[in-house]
Structures are given as structure tokens and as C-alpha cells.
Amino acid sequence: MIDKNLAPSRYQALKFGLWIGMASITMMFAALTSAYLVRRPAGNWYEFKLPVQFFVSTIIIIASSITMEWAYKSLKNQNQKNYNYGIVLTFGLGILFLVSQILSWKALVASGITIDLSVSGSFLYALSGIHAVHVIGGIAAIMVCVANAFLNSFTVSSMRLLKVDLVRQYWHFVDILWIYLLLFLILQ
């Protein structure tokens, strides 16, 4: 679809497009967290502790950002082996993050905080659930990278580097987004 011999502005355009996409996702979570802020002082708000699994998830997703960074650096240095390790590891950690989120929800349910118990709980499910959907998008993109790594020959074209770079930026974005949500929930 995109020709690598075209003027560099085209690359720039793709990156820029991703940033705009991230800005609109940010708006979405800004809306949800503002709704939370507006709703909370209105009372009838059930207080509870965040399940510890959410903190485990956080560690997992931070780790996956580090492996992603490693994969990208390796690709840049034409190091096929490390790139393959890195990208597969990131993929695995991504899945693990989702698993950990599911465990968190299970723990919540087990302690009686079901999604329809109280608005405060509903918000927690909504925020983490909608975030998880965005993580799934990122995992899908990483999966394409993994497939590429094993099915195609190893060539480090500028186009390939760009594609992996886009995936990497998006992945860091959902990572930071999660940290923001967690901090938001803790501080609230």
C-alpha cells in the first residue's frame, strides 16, 4: 500500500496519524474519568479496595513495554535473534496482562463487588474493560509483527522499521494509559 520510495513526508504522515488516533483515545478516557469525578461527590458511592491483581497487571505491562523497546532496538541493529525473542516476549506478556485483568475482575466478583452493585464498581469495570479492548488491538498488531518475524525473510527496510515503530508507540501508549488509570483510581 505504501511505497517506501515516496517522499519521507509520507512516513511522517503515518506517525502523525497514529498520534492523532492516540489523542482521540485519550479524549475517550478523559471523558470517562471526568464522568467519574463528577459522579463521585454526588454521594451514594461505595468505597472498596482495588484487588491486588491490578498491581500485578501493572508490573506485567511495564515489563512488556521494556521488552518491546528491546525488540525495536534489536531490529534497528539488525539483530534477528534478539528481535524475535523480544517481540514474542512482548506478545506473551500482553496476553498475560489480559489474563491478569480477568483475574482481577474475578477477584472483584468474589469479594461481592459485581458490576451492577454500585456505580463506583461499575466505573472500575468500565475503565479497565474499555482499556482492555485497546490492549487487544495492540496485541493484534504485535501478532502481525510476530507472524512477519517467522514467516518472512529478515530484512530491515525502513518501511518495516516504521511499522514496528508504530506498534511500539501504540503499545507504550496503552501502557501509560493503564498506569494513568491506576493512579487515578488510587488517588480518588
- Torsion angle of C-alpha atoms 96, 75, 141, 16, degrees rounded to 10: 120
Write down the least CB distance from residue 115 to another protein, Å: 5
In the window 38-97, what residues touch another protein (CB under 8 A)? 38-39, 42, 44
Write down the least CB distance from residue 54 to another protein, Å: 19
Contact stretch for another protein (CB under 8 A) within 20-28, 86-94, 138-146, 178-186: 20-28
Q: Is the Cβ–Cβ distance between 173 and 21 less than 8 Å?
A: no
159 is a site residue for another protein (CB under 8 A): no
Q: Is the Cβ–Cβ distance between 68 and 101 less than 8 Å?
A: no
- Torsion angle of C-alpha atoms 138, 144, 150, 155, degrees rounded to 10: -100
Distance of CA 148 to the CA centre of its chain: 21
In the window 87-146, what residues touch another protein (CB under 8 A)? 115-116, 118-119, 122-123, 125-126, 130
Write down the least CB distance from residue 33 to another protein, Å: 10
Q: Is the Cβ–Cβ distance between 155 and 4 less than 8 Å?
A: no
Write down the least CB distance from residue 154 to another protein, Å: 24
Nearer CB in complex with another protein: 98/119 = 119
Closest by alpha carbon to 30, among 169, 181, 175, 179? 181
Q: What's the angle, vertex CA 165, arms to CA 5 and CA 67, rounded to 5?
A: 150
Binding site for another protein (CB under 8 A): 1-3, 5-7, 9-10, 12-14, 16-17, 20-21, 23-25, 27-32, 35, 38-39, 42, 44, 115-116, 118-119, 122-123, 125-126, 130
